Every structure is written in structure tokens, then in C-alpha cells.
Amino acid sequence: MKISKTLSGKMKDYPPFYQAVWKACAQIPKGQVRTYGWIAKKIGKPQAARAVGQALGRNPFAPAVPCHRVVGANGALTGYSAAGGVAKKRRMLLKEGALVR
């Protein structure tokens, strides 16, 4: 998924690291998942998986930036700050056709 110009413009109010994380997250196809580490590597910060999690926890652009598609290194559904938490994350992924544990 490509970030719209409007959304990209709104992101400019946030730190560059957050912008990079959110833009990488937006590239995760519907029905698929990636890890925090994958995003960290994608943005050139391979040691920053925890910081990626923090940036996604502050994502004001969901669902356009689909942070529910990001899972832990072992594939476990972890942290989802939106109302409904991990249970909601699971439902959203299943609705998209993703295989979840």
C-alpha cells in the first residue's frame, strides 16, 4: 500500500523515525503479517525492534497504517493499544485471511 499525500503530510508532524516505521508498516499486504524486527531492518535500524513497537503503539493513523499486522519475533500476537487489545488484533487479522496462532 502506498501512503497518500494527505496522510504523508499529516505524518510530518511526528519524528522522522516514527514516519519511517509507519510508512514501512503501511507496506504490509492485507492478510499478511511482519515482525517488529522486519520493520526495524526495513528502515535501516536492525537493532530498533522495541522502538518500532513504541512507534506503532503511538500510531494515530490506524487502520490506514495497519499496525495490527505486526507480530512478535516468534509470531505471537503482542501489544495492540487500540480498544479491544490483542483480541481485536486477532479478529482483524482473521478477517483479512491471515494465519494467526
DSSP string, 33-82: -EEHHHHHHHTT-TT-HHHHHHHHHT-TTTTTS-GGGEE-TTS------S
Give a yes or no: residue 19 inside a domain.
Answer: yes
Give a yes or no: residue 101 inside a domain.
Answer: no
Q: What is the pLDDT of residue 19?
A: 96
Question: What's the CATH code of the domain at 12?
Answer: 1.10.10.10
Give a yes or no: residue 72 inside a domain.
Answer: yes
Active-site residue (options: 28, 65, 67, 92): 67
Tens digit of each residue's pLDDT (9 = 90 or more) over 37-48? 999 999 999 999
Range of the domain at 32: 5-96
pTM of this prediction?
0.88
Please state the domain count of the chain: 1
Could you tell me the mean pLDDT of each successive run of 10 residues in the chain, 101 residues long?
Answer: 78 95 95 96 97 94 92 87 81 91 69
Annotation says 67 is catalytic? yes
Counting beta carbons within 10 angstroms of the beta carbon of residue 65, is it exposed (0 to 12), middle (13 to 18) or buried (19 or more)?
Answer: buried
Backbone angles phi, psi at 64, to 5 degrees: -60, -35
Give a yes or no: residue 64 inside a domain.
Answer: yes
